[in-house]
Amino acid sequence: MAAIISVEGLGKRYAGGVSALEDVCLEIEKGEILALLGPNGAGKTTLISIICGLVTPSAGRVTVGGHDVVTDYREARRLIGLVPQEVALEPFEKVINSVRFSRGVFGRPGDPARIEAVLRQLSLWDKRDAQIMTLSGGMKRRVLIAKALAHDPDILFLDEPTAGVDVELRREMWQMVRELKAAGVTILLTTHYIEEAEAMADRVGVITGGRVLLVEEKNALMRRMGKREMRLELQEPVGELPAALAPYGLECEEDGQVLVYSYDTAAARTGITRLLTDLADTGLVLNDVQTRQSSLEEIFVDLLRENAEA
């Protein structure tokens, strides 16, 4: 598939001397959902801000739909809708006027039917004449999304869209994002909720300290990095592990009632058969066996730890 956003060797050093991005390269494919994960201060917002034209890059270049974001900013920006991390809205303005303004400032002619559709999609139609300051925090966030969608962008940036949003609204947003994807919109979202990336993303990018550690298809990543665990529940707890089981690196849980064996799914041999044979030889009796795949969250934490150690 063709890249709709292409970031090459992007660097950003803020006036204060903070280096927020270093040599970032990234391609976002048309129609995909890319989730950008990273700790606070990793540079996620900076990256988005450069693509949208809020921050000027110190090095490198970005193209959106083939248009350079600096030299050909009009064409590039027309394609993008931005939902910023911080809620910033005119408190005294009516919801509908604010959304109309967004459409207008992106150079699109007025279209009451389209505005109505966007407001309905975000359950804001009943609140269209309300002053923004009278809305709840979750509703304000939806107004931000409505404003970003008002000009029918091909690309949507969601910078931590679900921060401070309750579970129900979060699910609604996920649903909406899926619908947008189905309609062909490319989506870049940043999040601290790995659950969110796991639920929605096609690909996951991990960024820390201004560098992109990896960008990979979510399923492939989980297969590659994901560890499986086998939990062996014993009939009788063991006080001390028999020496024969030492090579397996088992962890004891629940006072020796449960033994946990971690193995790599990608490895040629998982060692399960030998472990079970050796276990039988020691005379321990099994009650139950479960296996579990590690979540994206654990993968993420592992990645960051490895990076910090390297």
Partner 1 sequence: MNWLAILAIYRFEMARTKRTIAQSVISPVISTSLYFVVFGAAIGSRIDEVEGIGYGSFIVPGLIMLTVMTQSIANASFGIYFPKFLGTIYELLSAPVSFLEIVIGYVGAAATKSLMIGLIILATAGFFVPLQIAHPVAMLAFLVLTCVSFSLFGFILGIWAGNFEQLQLVPLLVVTPLVFLGGSFYSISMLPPVWQTITLFNPVVYLISGFRWSFFGIGDVGVAVSLGAILAFLTLCMGVVWWIFRTGWRLRS
Ligand X SMILES: Nc1ncnc2c1ncn2[C@@H]1O[C@H](COP(=O)(O)OP(=O)(O)OP(=O)(O)O)[C@@H](O)[C@H]1O
Binders of Mg ion among residues 80 to 119 (CB under 5 A) are 85
Shortest separation between residue 192's beta carbon and partner 1, angstroms: 21
Is residue 163 involved in binding Mg ion (CB under 5 A)? no
Q: What does 106 bind: partner 1, Mg ion, ligand X, none (CB cut-off 5 to 8 Å by kind)?
A: partner 1
From candidates 45, 98, 162, 186, binder to ligand X by CB under 6 A: 45
Residue from 11, 31, 53, 60 binding partner 1 (CB under 8 A): 53
**Sole binder of partner 1 in the list 1, 15, 285, 308 (CB under 8 A):** 15
Query: Which range in 106-114, 234-242, 247-255, 278-286 contacts partner 1 by CB under 8 A?
Result: 106-114
Q: Which is nearer to partner 1, 105 or 117 (CB)?
A: 105
Q: How far apart are CA 9 and CA 21, in angstroms?
A: 9
Contact 213, 299 (CB under 8 A): no
Applying the rule CB under 6 A, the residues between 219 and 258 that interact with ligand X are none
Which residue in the set 1, 17, 40, 92 belongs to the binding site for partner 1 (CB under 8 A)?
92
Q: Out of 40, 86, 273, 308, name the contact with partner 1 by CB under 8 A.
A: 86
Q: Is 84 in the site for ligand X (CB under 6 A)?
A: no
Rounded distance between C-alpha atoms, residue 285 and residue 288, angstroms:
9
Among 17, 109, 112, 283, the residue binding partner 1 under the rule CB under 8 A is 109
Q: Give residues in contact with partner 1 (CB under 8 A).
A: 14-15, 52-56, 73-78, 80, 82, 84, 86, 88-92, 97, 100-109, 147
